[in-house]
Structure 1
Amino acid sequence: MVTNSSGSVEHSSGLRGVVPIVIAALLWGTTGTAAHFLPGDVSPLATGAATMFIGGVLLFAVSSRGAVAALRDRRSLVWLLVGSLGVFAYPLAFYSSMHLAGVAIGTVVSLGAAPVFAAILEFLVDRRRVSLRWALATAVAVLGVVLLATGGSAGTEAAASVWGVLLGLVAAFSYALYTFASERAIGAGHSSRSVMGALFGVGAVLLAPVLIVTGAPLLQSWSSVAITGYLALGPMFVAYLLFGAGLRWVRSSTATVITLIEPAVATVLAVVIVGERFDLFGWLGLALVAVGILILVLPRRGPTALDAPRL
């Protein structure tokens, strides 16, 4: 993993981590819109369990030897088990949040709060302080997601929206947890593919009972099977292979800021395809998310006041 002393991405190798994470975030941004077209009797628990279960099995299958080795290594086992709890909770909370609060708000909260949780985990475990540049990028991007939430979907009931936001926070913490655990397991000397295979393989085992109980409606039509297949193969399988590759080069707190592209993409798709409506604040939020990411990933021309000091 290559970062400078202040925690910003080194341009020489940073793009090797930024590009795959950006592509993964673009794929993730399509999940809410795709799930919107599932039949009404398919619960968000079934959607989340199915996509993460199928994707987890595939990730384990393509890296079984390395994944088993990572699970046998005491240095990485604890982190993989901790991370698998995040893998279990994330899809259940994420899809439930979108179901209650709308595609855009559910995605915005789930991803927008993740960088804060990631930084807290890094501080509590590693005593790693963040740079002023990271803090500025995160503050701008988080302000953007707050504005996105403020300009959220019209017609959503207040109580449902509140529960959706709370579940989005659960999803955000779960996402930050398994991202942080993945980074630590990769740091123990295992390949990103092996770590992703082990992490999501264990998560698939945990999600299997939920899928058995709730998953029957997913098989009621070819369209529901096709949508579930896309969610499992694209935003789950391919995206997490890319995400794991990116984590070899950037810190988890940086990765969670970059993936704020996802709520921006999800918002645009929610407006254009799903028909959710936003006001001026929502569109301003989209712009701020983009600015925050650019602050983080654009190369520096030299030491600046933003990068030198540490908070």
Structure 2
Amino acid sequence: MKSNPYFGPMTLLAGVLIFSTNGFWQAIAPEGATAYVIGASRLLIGGLTLSLWCLVRYRKIHLQGWDWKAIGIYAVALWLYQIFFFQGVHLIGVAVGTVVAVGSTPIFAGLIQAFLYKEKPDLLWYIATAFAIVGLVLVNMVDDMSFAWYAVILPLLAGFTLAVSVIVAPRVAQPHSAEEGMAIVMLLGSVLMLPFFVLFPIDWMFTSQGALCVLMLGVVNSALAFTLELIGFKNTPTLIASTLTLGEPLGAAVIGIFVLNEPYTNESVLGILFLFVSILILVLGPELKFRLKNKLIFLN
């Protein structure tokens, strides 16, 4: 199955689209719920769920043979992303903060790849990233924006940490299963986030509605989604993977409009279309490019 050129991108996209429902579960969380505790609980529950799954399926969790440097970098990046992203959107708003954080991810990934590995993005990456960034801006157009310029630094740092995660993810998935690698990463990340359970209220988690939200975020939106994402990262070129993560705000916009009945404009609908085109270019483009190249060779 892994020889299928669509396997990696489609698996990654499935995980990313699950992530796009994070905002929905946070929106229906009980009063008193904070983004920090929500982020901490989903990592903790997700890590424990994946650990249990690994113990049932593989009888144990391998602790040898891992690239511990990559796992450590991934865990720290995952932890920092929660802090930078949620604090960033607190300062400048969810819409603009998401645009800056998620929209900057493929750009940072391209720059890191070019700087560290001397890998220059191909034309498809430039085209798809341009479509995606324009789409994000259109989807999240906000009137009368007013905030200090330095507030944008936090969402940019969130985008940088997400790009780092994308780059090290393939190394985390080796040499054992993606579930084991992700379980270890999430448990390490949740340990780093334990102070949030002390600094912020947690009583809302023990209500029926709160328990439903954190369980869905932990089991489905964390354990399942992160595993799908890691498998996708393992089987998708890094630059393509970094831009496919933009499917998250695409899914979130669709949920906001059709499920949460949030207001929308012609610009936001056009933005969704631009994001959809970007994803199609990345998923279908490489295979179409390969077939076209072979056809030209055959004709010559």
> What is the TM-score normalised by the length of structure 2?
0.83
Flag structure 2 segments of 5+ consecutive residues without an equivalent. Answer: 295-300
User: Partners in 1 of 2:149 and 2:86 — Cα distance?
Assistant: 13
Measured at CA, do residues 14 and 94 of structure 1 come closer, stay the same or move farther in structure 2, by a change above 3 Å? farther
Q: Does 1:83 align with 2:74?
A: yes
Measured at CA, do residues 29 and 104 of structure 1 come closer, stay the same or move farther in structure 2, by a change above 3 Å? farther
Q: Does 1:237 align with 2:223?
A: yes
Q: Which moved more, 1:33-42 or 1:76-85?
A: 33-42
Measured at CA, do residues 112 and 45 of structure 1 come closer, stay the same or move farther in structure 2, by a change above 3 Å? same
User: Partners in 2 of 1:277 and 1:158 — Cα distance?
Assistant: 21
1:169 is matched with which residue? 156
Deviations 1:226-251 (A, max 9, x none): 11111111111111111111122112
1:213 is matched with which residue? 199
**Alignment partner for residue 29 of structure 2, among 30, 38, 50?**
38
- Tell me, yes or no, if the aligned pair for 1:27 and 1:239 is still in contact at 8 Å: yes
1:69 is matched with which residue? 64
1:121 is matched with which residue? 112
Flag structure 1 segments of 5+ consecutive residues without an equivalent. Answer: 3-11, 305-311
User: Partners in 1 of 2:72 and 2:117 — Cα distance?
Assistant: 19
User: Partners in 2 of 1:189 and 1:134 — Cα distance?
Assistant: 28
Aligned residues: 285
Q: Does 1:23 align with 2:10?
A: no
1:9 is matched with which residue? none
User: Partners in 2 of 1:22 and 1:208 — Cα distance?
Assistant: 30
> Once the 2 structures are TM-superposed, how far is the Cα of residue 166 of structure 1 from its aligned partner?
4.6
2:147 is matched with which residue? 159
**What percent identity do the matched residue pairs reach?**
26
> Is the radius of gyration larger for structure 1 or structure 2?
2
Measured at CA, do residues 25 and 185 of structure 1 come closer, stay the same or move farther in structure 2, by a change above 3 Å? closer
Aligned CA-pair RMSD? 2.7
User: Partners in 1 of 2:153 and 2:210 — Cα distance?
Assistant: 28
Measured at CA, do residues 206 and 181 of structure 1 come closer, stay the same or move farther in structure 2, by a change above 3 Å? same
> What is the TM-score normalised by the length of structure 1?
0.81
Give the 5 Å matches for 1:251-266.
Answer: 251-266=237-252
Q: Which amino acid in 2 is paired with 1:287?
A: L
- Tell me, yes or no, if the aligned pair for 1:67 and 1:197 is still in contact at 8 Å: no
Deviations 1:188-245 (A, max 9, x none): 5343223212222211211122223325233352111211111111111111111111
